[in-house]
Amino acid sequence: MQTWSSPPVPRIAGEPRPLRLYDTSTGEVRPTSPGPTAGIYVCGITPYDATHLGHAATYLAFDLVNRVWRDNGHDVHYVQNVTDVDDPLLERAERDQDDWVVLAMRETALFREDMEALRVIAPRQYVGAVEAIPEIVEAIGKLLADGSAYRVDDPEHPDVYFDHTATGRFGYESNYDQETMLRLFGERGGDPDRPGKRHPLDALLWRTARPGEPSWPSELGEGRPGWHIECSAIALNRLGTPFDVQGGGSDLVFPHHEFSAAHAEALTGERPFARHYVHAGMIGLDGEKMSKSRGNLVFVSKLRAERVDSNAVRLALLAGHYREDRPWTDDLLVRAQERLALWRDAVARSTGPAAEDTVARLRDHLGDDLDTPRALAAVDAWARDATTSGGSDPTGPVLLRAAVDALLGVEL
């Protein structure tokens, strides 16, 4: 799929800091340890509605991962998918009497514009589920052949399911107990009560064709792919395993990332799928998680239409720590606009305080599990200094502006 245009990323002077990130599977902040090329897969949108600030916050968190790795001289191989065929998309198209293909194309196009406006560095490969069907079919064929997958005993709809015990280590990514897994599986797209499965937790790999639903001919029979295998196959075939970071929002910890990992590990016989499983907290509105199904949304595109500076939106979302569930409020945006104005005022001066120490602190804080509240506070301190006491260093404002651009993606 066509991706979007990346903003330029300036190189900055001084010592980069390696990136440490919280890994859900081990429950620790651990160093990332990429080779010359760092591999990252971030779960993309299901394009049935516009990008809201929850999505944006998650993609901004991983954009910082990308930026810190680049600062460390790594080439970053970033892969993202688009779930352009799945139940929620088909249901919305049906509800609105829309063509599901047109709906997906429209919302994906809007997402690209939103990401570009927010100055998110584009993935190197942006891959739709539909275009990946041949590789997904091949993966499912292998899982069936080695006994990791099976067909349900249903002559009319012999759908293919994954035996969740196939790898012998199911549950290591989320660390949830069976009861929690079963509850979340039911709440997040799973079908624990489907008759004919060997176990309620087994996940759908291939759904045989149903009247009125899109389907594709394949050696598995006419049908369409399940959700988790899409991300397994797309990541595996482009990044190989293990890759450095599997990312998404915390609503993907289970079942999605647990199954994506289990499918891929059953396919390769190797573990782990990813070295770090990294999850962003949920952005809420009015006390609830912002979600398409609840409809309590603030769209990035609406803020753009109101001519809100996207750099302020970035700063508002980065003001909280990426792992915290946190609310979006009008006040958050107002404070971000004030911050942006202060920073712009400070870097617009021909001289200012020396910025080397501030840039070092910025790097330290970002390297420490993307501690943006502290990183932003360090820039605040420099900017307050610049606008109150001034300073005589002509390189200060230039260096600070470049660092804020390269590391935080904010254009001053």
By the criterion CB under 5 A, which residues form the site for Zn ion? 43, 231
Please state the closest distance from residue 24 (CB atom) to ligand 5CA, in A: 13
Q: Which does 290 bind (CB under 5 to 8 A by kind): ligand 5CA, Zn ion, none?
A: ligand 5CA
Residue type at position 127: V
Site map 208..247 versus ligand 5CA, x via CB under 6 A:
-----------------------x----------------
Q: Which does 251 bind (CB under 5 to 8 A by kind): ligand 5CA, Zn ion, none?
A: ligand 5CA
Contact segment (CB under 6 A) with ligand 5CA among 148-156, 238-246, 285-293, 338-346 equals 285-293
Out of 290, 340, 355, 407, point to the residue binding ligand 5CA (CB under 6 A).
290
Please state the closest distance from residue 14 (CB atom) to ligand 5CA, in A: 32
Decide if residue 249 touches ligand 5CA (CB under 6 A): yes
Q: Where are the alpha helices (DSSP H) in 127-205?
A: 133-145, 178-187
Does residue 195 have a cis bond before it (omega within 30 degrees)? Answer: no
Q: What is the DSSP string of 45-105?
A: ---SS--BHHHHHHHHHHHHHHHHHHHTT-EEEEEEEE--SSHHHHHHHHHTT--HHHHHH
Out of 34, 39, 54, 123, point to the residue binding ligand 5CA (CB under 6 A).
54
Out of 57, 166, 274, 313, point to the residue binding ligand 5CA (CB under 6 A).
57
Decide if residue 46 touches ligand 5CA (CB under 6 A): yes
Distances from the Cα of 339 to the Cα of 4, 148, 156, 333, 359, angstroms: 28, 53, 61, 10, 17
Residue in this structure with the two tokens 């489907």, named with its chain if needed: 194
**CA dihedral over 286, 288, 293, 294, signed as positive or negative:** negative
Q: Which does 315 bind (CB under 5 to 8 A by kind): Zn ion, ligand 5CA, none?
A: none
Are 337 and 309 a contacting pair, CB within 8 Å? yes
Residue type at position 96: D
Decide if residue 248 touches ligand 5CA (CB under 6 A): yes
Residue nearer to Zn ion on the CB measure, 17 or 188: 188
Residue nearer to ligand 5CA on the CB measure, 57 or 316: 57
Residue nearer to ligand 5CA on the CB measure, 20 or 228: 228
CA atoms lying within 13 Å on the CB side of residue 202: 21
Q: Which does 184 bind (CB under 5 to 8 A by kind): ligand 5CA, Zn ion, none?
A: none
Please state the closest distance from residue 381 (CB atom) to ligand 5CA, in A: 29
Q: Rounded to whole angstroms, how far apart are CA atoms 85 and 233?
A: 15
Out of 107, 251, 258, 265, point to the residue binding ligand 5CA (CB under 6 A).
251
- Mention every residue, 6+ apart, whose C-beta is less than 8 A from residue 274: 41, 241, 242, 243, 244, 245, 246, 261
Please state the closest distance from residue 75 (CB atom) to Zn ion, in A: 23
Expressed in angstroms, the distance from the first to the final Cα of the chain is 31
- Show the tokens assigned to 20: 């440490």
Residue nearer to ligand 5CA on the CB measure, 24 or 83: 83
Please state the closest distance from residue 34 (CB atom) to ligand 5CA, in A: 21
Contact segment (CB under 6 A) with ligand 5CA among 10-18, 50-58, 141-149, 345-353 equals 50-58
Rounded to the nearest angstrom, the gap between the alpha carbon of residue 322 and the centroid of all alpha carbons in its chain is: 11
Please state the closest distance from residue 227 (CB atom) to ligand 5CA, in A: 7
Are 150 and 2 a contacting pair, CB within 8 Å? no
Q: Where are the alpha helices (DSSP H) in 269-389?
A: 300-305, 310-318, 330-347, 356-367, 372-388
Give residues in contact with ligand 5CA (CB under 6 A). Answer: 43-46, 54-55, 57-58, 81, 83, 231, 248-249, 251-252, 280, 282-283, 289-291
